[in-house]
Amino acid sequence: MNVRQLEYLDALARERSFRRAAEECSATQPAVSVAIAKLESELGVELVHRHRREAVLTAPGEALVRRAREALAAVRDLTAEAGRFAGTLTGRLRLGVIPTALPAVAEITKVLLAAHPGVHLEVRSLSSDEIVGELASFRIDAGLTYLDNEPLGAVTTIPVYTERYVFLTADPGPGERVRWADLDGAGLCLLTPDMQNRRIVDGALERSGATVAAVVETNSISALISYVRAGWPSIVSDAWIGLYGVPEGMSAVPLAGPTVAHSVGLVTRPTELPQPLVKALVDSLEPDVGDRIAAGRRAPSSF
């Protein structure tokens, strides 16, 4: 058994195709097929059902691919740790991020990247549930998600900033402050229900007694902004506004009565042997990074 065989198995699990797995691994299809066959022979179990157009993992294959991913993560950690002792930290750090926190990623990781030019960062947009699942299955190394709203399972948490919410509208005169209850009867553009941000917004509206119509639902922040511009207001993170600014022709008004706030931060797998790249990221977090992300929390007139 070798690392390359485990990489092929991981790619097959994701791509469900020997051809696509070979392309992802920069290998030939016959090489992947032979390597998987040898791995099956060594382990004594069939790992892949080979169909004409796809390759589907067997039940043992599904169970063992998680072990393969764990082993691959351990190899990456070993290589990174050796590089650290040699004076150069290198490797790929895979980070899953909820869509509403994507604007904050550069601020959170820029010190790490500047200090360690050999580190390659892979950022994937994932829902909070996907982050928990991908972290448990060793497909990402860390996540940036909500820490205090829904159960996270067995993870280590590091708070980074606090998210609050604003009413984003193309109406030129919405006032200096909007209460959640004031939105009763409104037609809004909101994120899709699989996004935790949407569940937070729904909960705040429900507690305030407001009933709104989700005229448009999207999992894309850019699409959401385009619909606000077209006349359907929305509720967005103030951290997004703080980092990107208020789009031209729009107003961002703080939501109050009550003020809703949630902690956003890093989640990692608990382990006795810290992952070198994750540890480097955590160590690189500056004390005022949360304040910088929240720098846009000003009075509406100064947006």
Q: pLDDT at position 298, please?
A: 44
SS3 69: helix
User: Does residue 96 contact residue 124 with C-beta atoms inside 8 Å?
Assistant: yes
CATH topology (fold) of 70-152+264-302: D-Maltodextrin-Binding Protein; domain 2 (3.40.190)
Cα distance between residue 163 and residue 201, in whole Å = 12
Q: pLDDT at position 70, please?
A: 85
Cα distance between residue 25 and residue 23, in whole Å = 5
Domain boundaries, the chain: 3-67, 70-152+264-302, 163-262
- Please tell me if the domain spanning 70-152+264-302 has the same topology as the one spanning 163-262: yes
User: Does residue 107 contact residue 144 with C-beta atoms inside 8 Å?
Assistant: no
> One digit per residue, pLDDT tens: the chain, 303 residues?
899 999 999 898 888 999 899 998 999 999 999 999 999 999 999 999 988 778 889 999 998 998 898 888 888 888 888 877 877 889 999 999 998 898 899 999 999 999 999 999 999 999 899 999 999 888 899 999 999 988 888 899 999 999 999 999 998 766 677 899 999 999 999 999 988 999 999 999 999 999 999 999 998 888 988 999 999 999 998 888 877 788 888 888 889 888 899 999 999 998 877 889 999 999 999 888 888 887 644 434 333
Q: pLDDT at position 227, please?
A: 94
CATH number 1.10.10.10 is the correct assignment for the domain at 3-67: yes
CATH of the structural domain 163-262, one choice from 1.10.760.10, 3.30.300.30, 3.40.190.290, 3.30.110.30: 3.40.190.290
Both tokens of residue 69?
């991913």
Partnered with residue 252 across adjacent β-strands are 168
Q: pLDDT at position 150, please?
A: 85
- List, in sequence order, the alpha helices (H) in the chain: 3-15, 18-24, 29-43, 59-85, 105-115, 128-136, 196-208, 221-229, 238-244, 276-284, 289-293
Cα distance between residue 62 and residue 145, in whole Å = 27
N residues, the chain:
303
Strands 119-125 and 91-97: parallel
SS3 224: helix
Taking CA atoms, 188 is separated from 72, 192, 213, 225, in Å, by: 45, 12, 6, 12
Residue at 3: amino acid letter: V
- Render 145-208 in DSSP notation, one character per residue: EESSSS---S-EEEEEEEE-EEEEES-S---S-EEGGGGTT-EEEEE-TTSHHHHHHHHHHHHH
Q: pLDDT at position 83, please?
A: 79
- Report yes or no on whether pTM surpasses 0.85: no
Q: pLDDT at position 301, please?
A: 35
